[in-house]
């Protein structure tokens, strides 16, 4: 069964227990372990419901806007508290801590709209990478 991977920061959630519902593929710690970035696996058949559940669970506690990326090698769903963007990943080559390059994207306009939305929320360029560099090589 195919699945989506999601990159979820523990601080972005009101209820962090939600992460435990899914297999954790990887966990990275930042800022002395206070911030953890989980890569989890979500069955494709459940993705629509889980995207909505994560969106409802996004925190406002730190007065910071968050996003969560759900992805396969073909598609990406980028979720903000107030908006969801669904795009093809064709033509996207992310670079860690660099604003994602959309110049060859199949869904260039959607990617550009999503980046513009993120920037309007105050997301800095180095956090506009949205996908892991190895997303096309991962097993979904």
Give yes or no for residue 88 having a pLDDT over 80. yes
**pLDDT, average across residues 64-73:** 95
- Residues 6 or more apart in contact with residue 67 via CB below 8 angstroms: 12, 78, 79, 80, 118, 123, 130
Burial class of residue 54, CB neighbours in 10 A (0-12, 13-18, 19+): buried
Backbone φ and ψ for 128, nearest 5 degrees, come out as -95, 35
Average pLDDT across the chain, whole number: 95
> Distance between CA 112 and CA 107 in Å, rounded?
9
Burial class of residue 94, CB neighbours in 10 A (0-12, 13-18, 19+): buried
Distances in Å between the Cα of 12 and the Cα atoms of 7, 22, 46, 57, 68 are 11, 17, 21, 8, 8
Tens digits of per-residue pLDDT, 8-48? 999 999 999 999 999 999 999 987 778 999 999 999 999 99
Query: Given this model, what pLDDT does residue 39 score?
Result: 97
Query: Given this model, what pLDDT does residue 30 score?
Result: 83
C-beta atoms surrounding 4 within 10 Å? 21
Contact 40, 22 (CB under 8 A): yes
Rg (CA), the chain: 14
Domain boundaries, the chain: 3-133
Give yes or no for residue 123 having a pLDDT over 80. yes
**Where is pLDDT greater, at 34 or 119?**
119
Q: Which residues pair with 12 in a beta bridge?
A: none
**Where is pLDDT greater, at 103 or 64?**
103
């Amino acid at each position: 069964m195919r699945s989506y991977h999601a990159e979820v920061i523990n601080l972005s959630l009101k209820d962090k227990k939600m992460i435990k519902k899914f297999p954790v593929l990887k966990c990275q710690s930042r800022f002395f372990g206070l911030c953890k970035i989980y890569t989890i696996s979500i069955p494709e058949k459940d993705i629509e419901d889980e995207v909505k559940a994560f969106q409802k669970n996004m925190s406002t506690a730190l007065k910071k806007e968050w996003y969560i990326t759900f992805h396969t090698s073909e598609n990406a769903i980028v979720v903000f508290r107030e908006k969801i963007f669904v795009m093809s990943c064709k033509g996207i080559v992310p670079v860690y801590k660099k604003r994602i390059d959309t110049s060859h994207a199949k869904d260039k306009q959607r990617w550009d709209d999503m980046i513009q939305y993120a920037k309007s929320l105050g997301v800095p360029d180095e956090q506009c990478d949205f996908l892991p560099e190895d997303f096309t090589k991962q097993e979904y």
